[in-house]
Amino acid sequence: MRIVSHSRLATVLSGLPGVPRVVAGGNFATPRRALAILDAAVPEYRLFMLNAQGETPDRDGVTLETPFVGPGMRGRPNLRYFPCRLSLVPHLLGGSLPPDVVVVQTSRPVGGTVSLGIEVNILPAAIEAARARGGLVIAQINPRMPYTYGDGVMAVEEFDHAIEADEPLAVPVPREPGEASREIGERVARLVPERATLQLGIGAVPDAVLASLRERRGLAIWSEMFSDGVLALEKAGALDATPITASFAFGGEELYDWADRNERIRMLRTEKTNDPGLIARRPRLVSVNSALQVDLFAQANASRVKGAIYSGFGGQTDFVVGALHSPGGRAIIALPSWHPRADVSTVIPRLAGPVTSFQHSFIVSEQGTAAVWGHDASAQAQQIVDRVAHPSVRGELREEGRRLGFALR
């Protein structure tokens, strides 16, 4: 690793041939200073990120690429969306989408190593793929980045160049869960067995689930990500002694401070955290994910709004499959029965677009809980209408369900 000035890095990057593909850290670990230097130095390039937050380069010459669309890329005309399970994204980078440059944010060097901190995810695979084809690996060293243990600990020799940038890590905007989210959280918590291993995604509903589990004991975490709610479980004594395992963290400053040099936390690469086979080895793995819509076929759409890509598969498909194969495991989809902003039911007769996941154990809303697994198709649809859908649309759903062939009362 050679620490260089910003101007020197710009000179290096300006010499890149062709239209390079740049893989950068996403979520709240985006190396914004290094990306700004690259954007000013390279006229045309492809930018590959997961769940990009905040502002991303948006100009002629920049093509945005992702298998999971974050707010920083959502709705952009220059976006290329690649449908892909998160566990398989490293294979994309090692095959059809090889990176020429990888730009990451790291901790300060310690003993000849740096840590990728709160964002491990697909980055080790991206670095390996770039190295294999002689690409550049660039670090933005930030003393505020936690030093986390696991697959994100890398030798400084893995990096060609580095710049220093002392700046606060981005954090999500705090949101108090509404009444519907709290009710859903309590319902989901009742489905979590003793000594369960938890996987939860991002959003108000997963946060509400965690808040409803603080009185439990002996819980474990094996998840794609963890948030402030996991720290609250730790403070409450709800977690067992096994390592908290994830591939990225998504929370506030207190969470990041807690993660720094914490032996309790293991940040692993996506190929491990999201491998359905490894997930299935965890007993009583309870996967809790949200969706934009569910239908009477017990299918979930967590990816598209009115046909346009909104997010993507993420890790939902990986964890639904893994949880169903876990001894005593459960795959739960949790969502409000009514979308407040769109003012529409989230339960519809049949999805019009691609399905994100299906064959869940339970579907939960603030109205109730539908047991899906082990019931015939009509019984599944009946429970979704009676227990998940908003009362104002149940009559319409029953009529439409009968037209679709369900024997509904």
**So which residues are the catalytic ones?**
224
Residue in this structure with the two tokens 């566990």, named with its chain if needed: 87
Q: How many CA atoms lie within 13 A of 56 on its CB side?
A: 32
The C-alpha atoms of residue 19 and residue 62 are separated, in whole angstroms, by 9
Residue 333 near residue 355, CB atoms below 8 Å: no
Name the token pair of 300: 């979930």
The burial of 41, by beta-carbon neighbours within 10 Å (0-12 exposed, 13-18 middle, 19 or more buried), is given as middle
Q: In this structure, which amino acid lies at residue 362?
A: F
Name the token pair of 51: 């769940």
Residue 333 near residue 184, CB atoms below 8 Å: no
Residue 101 near residue 127, CB atoms below 8 Å: no
CB atoms within 10 A of CB 326: 24
The C-alpha atoms of residue 6 and residue 33 are separated, in whole angstroms, by 9
The C-alpha atoms of residue 387 and residue 392 are separated, in whole angstroms, by 12
Q: How many CA atoms lie within 13 A of 1 on its CB side?
A: 21
Q: Is 218 left (phi over 0), alpha (psi -120 to 50) or beta?
A: left
The C-alpha atoms of residue 78 and residue 272 are separated, in whole angstroms, by 31
The burial of 131, by beta-carbon neighbours within 10 Å (0-12 exposed, 13-18 middle, 19 or more buried), is given as middle
Which residues, in sequence order, are CB contacts of 88 under 8 Å at separation 6+?
A: none
CA torsion, ordered 117, 119, 125, 130, to nearest 10 deg: -80
The C-alpha atoms of residue 377 and residue 382 are separated, in whole angstroms, by 9
Name the token pair of 5: 């000035």
Query: Which helix (DSSP H) or strand (DSSP E) does residue 232 occupy?
Result: helix 228-236
